[in-house]
């Protein structure tokens, strides 16, 4: 197990995928989670409990995960982000994003979290 810990904001509008992310991130050591399914909901959640990591789908209710992340970073400053999406090509213009394709591979999620947070690769 890695030394990840802290709070994760999961920006996802599919409840089953949000639950899967909670389970997989819990296995990496993260201990608390908030789920939001709109950009405004994500910003509100982040203001209530600043996340140590954000995971974001691209397509969510009322907008995109990219919009949500930009709102959060503008309000709170830099927070590591992992995009979890079935459409990774839509993120090609984002600066060096950590991206996990759906269906979610646990090892790909671990590597993306390591990349996003700057944690050293797992042994």
Domain boundary assignment for the chain: 7-117
Q: What is the pLDDT of residue 4?
A: 81
pLDDT in tens, 62-89: 999 999 999 999 999 999 999 999 988 8
Q: What is residue 9's three-state secondary structure?
A: strand
Residue with tokens 């969510």: 60
Residues of the chain with pLDDT below 50 are 1, 122-123
The gap from C-alpha 57 to its chain's centroid, in whole angstroms, comes to 8
What is the edge-to-edge ordering of all strands in the sheet holding 53-56? 32-36, 7-11, 53-56, 81-85, 98-101
Supply the pLDDT for residue 123.
38
* Calpha distance 55→33 (Å, rounded): 10
What is the overall mean pLDDT for the chain? 93
Identify the architecture of domain 7-117 in CATH.
Answer: 3-Layer(aba) Sandwich (3.40)
Tokens at 115, concatenated: 């990349």
Report the b/e string of 65-85 with b at 16+ CB within 10 A. Answer: bbbbbebbeeeeeebbbbbbb
């Amino acid at each position: 197990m890695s030394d990840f810990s802290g709070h994760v904001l999961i920006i996802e509008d599919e409840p089953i995928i949000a639950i899967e992310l909670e389970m997989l991130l819990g296995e990496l050591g993260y201990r608390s989670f908030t789920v939001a399914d709109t950009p405004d909901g994500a910003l509100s959640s982040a203001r209530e409990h600043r996340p140590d990591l954000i995971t974001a789908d691209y397509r969510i209710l009322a907008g995109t995960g990219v919009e949500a992340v930009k709102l959060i970073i503008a309000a709170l400053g830099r927070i590591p982000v992992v995009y979890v999406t079935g459409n990774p090509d839509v993120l090609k213009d984002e600066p060096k994003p950590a991206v996990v394709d759906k269906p979610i591979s646990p090892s790909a999620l671990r590597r993306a979290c390591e990349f996003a947070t700057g944690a050293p690769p797992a042994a």
